[in-house]
Copies of this chain bind each other. A is one copy, B any other.
């Protein structure tokens, strides 16, 4: 295996596994994390080209058949250059999604209710669903591309969503939030959204409202 770098030049660890434990943003959040040595100009230029080209490709054709070769060609870059940073197309899609996901994470942690702190568990869960559906609506191709690797669960992002939902379910008095968290997140799988939105032709609004209904049912606090 060649040495492989993440976009900021630091050793790459397949997103942020630590975020699985704590509801915090990934370590590469924002503009902190200065790399040890400055990234060379040509490297930066190519990185931008790659991300731009990959985004275009994912939007165009079915994510599952975007190959490393395609991306390299579209970016005007050699394949080995691509492999230097990303092990597969899925990780590139993940990188493109990361930014959008972090924005939602920020709003959950420090934004206004009901997405941010302060509202009832049921309302926060409903707002969370709405925000995630909005993300899926706008970036479904990236979400689909990111999961073609198979495990959308290994990413730091999933750990964040999971921790958030687990806390909400705990507050709502669910009997086993640890087990219920993944079930509550499952409807947000990109494949599910594609089925509902495009194969079945449901509107974003119906899907969102349905999840909000589910959120209120699940998040409702009551006597035991």
Contact = CB atoms under 8 A, between A and B. Distances in A.
B191 A210 contact: no
Contacts of A196: 179, 182
Interface stretch (A1-9, A80-88, A170-178): A170-178
Contacts of A206: 176, 178-179
A32 interface: no
Contacts of A192: 182-183, 186
A209 interface: yes
A183 to B, nearest CB: 4
A210 B195 contact: no
Interface stretch (A38-46, A99-107, A212-220): A212-220
B210 A179 contact: yes
A30 interface: no
Interface residues of A, number: 34
Contacts of A209: 175-176, 179
Contact of A153 (B153, B179, B187, B195): B195
A123 to B, nearest CB: 16
A188 to B, nearest CB: 8
B207 A179 contact: yes
Interface in A72-100: none
Nearest to A196: B182
A147 to B, nearest CB: 9
A157 to B, nearest CB: 14
